[in-house]
Amino acid sequence: MRDLTLLPDLTLALVQTAPVWQNPAASHAHFARLLDQAAGADLVILPEMFATGFSMDAAALAEPEDGPSRAWLLEQAARLNAVVVGSVITQAADGSYRNRLYWARPDGSCAHYDKRHLFRMAGEHEHYAPGTERVMLEIKGWHVRPLVCYDLRFPVWSRDPHDTDLLLYIASWPAARRNPWNRLLPARAIENLCFVAAVNRIGADGNGYPHAGDSQVLDFMGDSLLDAGEAEGVFRITLSAAALAKFRSRFPAWRDADAFELKD
């Protein structure tokens, strides 16, 4: 078992803004200006489909696996000496289109997670292929599980009440469903005994759907540590692994969790 008390603090920078609709070059430039405010953070988090907005025009907008948005994320990671995270419309090697979260590291390496749960009410399942693998990533010894938007509604996919230190959700979650967003995030934190960081966009997308933001960070009891509301900007917070370790030691509910196995 890892000794969380030995881990350093982790500083997050949540970037809440509106992507430029279906215009990656303009979105890159917009985010680059905001990222100047993220200097010094360990982990910089952008919304879902940050380069285009949440578009179903996958055939026209998809980038190859080594495309310009992935390259841009790696450039920003190197510039900031931080991990930078955001999802991109990507055409995978098998030809399928994926809503792919990239985890760009400052050393030039890059991991990814493909969104598992596709939002059928917008037809996402008709344009994209679902991911099949849960992913655990590490930064400064912290274990981080990345997830994308609609994944939030499915607790089994997020479930790991022992080994996950931070659940990370990036989203394009509309204002019409603001209440579920703000209720489900604390639930995921409580049931997994971990920190939760969630980054959503603001503003209306190209289809006219408004987004209220509500990017936030919660502790292992579901209590709010940071709430960006509807404001645009870069919001910073530092998390304490020692505080997480102390809580889990005092309240080891994970020991009584039900065992299960995920199947397709």
Q: What is the pLDDT of residues 59-90, one digit of tens each?
A: 999 999 999 999 999 999 999 999 999 999 99
Q: How far apart are CA 264 and CA 251, in angstroms?
A: 32
Identify the domain containing residue 183 by its residue range.
7-255
At residue 54, the pLDDT reads 98
Residue 187 maps to which CATH number?
3.60.110.10
Is 49 within the bounds of a domain? yes
Q: How far apart are CA 150 and CA 115, in angstroms?
A: 9
List the single range of 44-58, 127-141, 154-168, 199-213 with lowest mean pLDDT. Answer: 154-168
Confidence label for 172 from pLDDT (cuts 50, 70 and 90): very high
Which of left, alpha, beta for 208 (phi over 0: left; psi -120 to 50: alpha)? Answer: left
Q: In which residue are the tokens 């500083």 written? A: 11
Task: Report the domain count for the chain.
Answer: 1
Q: Are strands 43-45 and 83-91 parallel, antiparallel or unpaired?
A: parallel
Confidence label for 260 from pLDDT (cuts 50, 70 and 90): confident
Residue 186 has pLDDT above 80, yes or no: yes
Residues labelled catalytic: 48, 115, 149
Over residues 141-162, the mean pLDDT reads 93
Is 261 within the bounds of a domain? no
Mean pLDDT of the chain: 96
Percent of the chain predicted with pLDDT > 70: 98
Confidence label for 161 from pLDDT (cuts 50, 70 and 90): low
CB atoms within 10 A of CB 221: 11
Tokens at 40, concatenated:
């010094």
Is 181 within the bounds of a domain? yes
Over residues 13-26, the mean pLDDT reads 98
Q: What is the pLDDT of residues 81-118, one digit of tens each?
A: 999 999 999 999 999 999 999 999 999 999 999 999 99
Is 247 within the bounds of a domain? yes
Is 263 within the bounds of a domain? no
Percent of the chain predicted with pLDDT > 90: 92
Is 246 within the bounds of a domain? yes
Element (H, E) at 128: none
At residue 259, the pLDDT reads 83
Is 164 in contact with 145 (CB distance < 8 Å)?
Answer: yes
At residue 257, the pLDDT reads 86
Q: Are strands 10-16 and 43-45 parallel, antiparallel or unpaired?
A: parallel
At residue 262, the pLDDT reads 82
Is 107 within the bounds of a domain? yes
Over residues 234-244, the mean pLDDT reads 97
* Of 247, 165, 176, 248, residue with least CA distance to 210: 176
Confidence label for 258 from pLDDT (cuts 50, 70 and 90): confident
Is 218 within the bounds of a domain? yes
At residue 59, the pLDDT reads 97
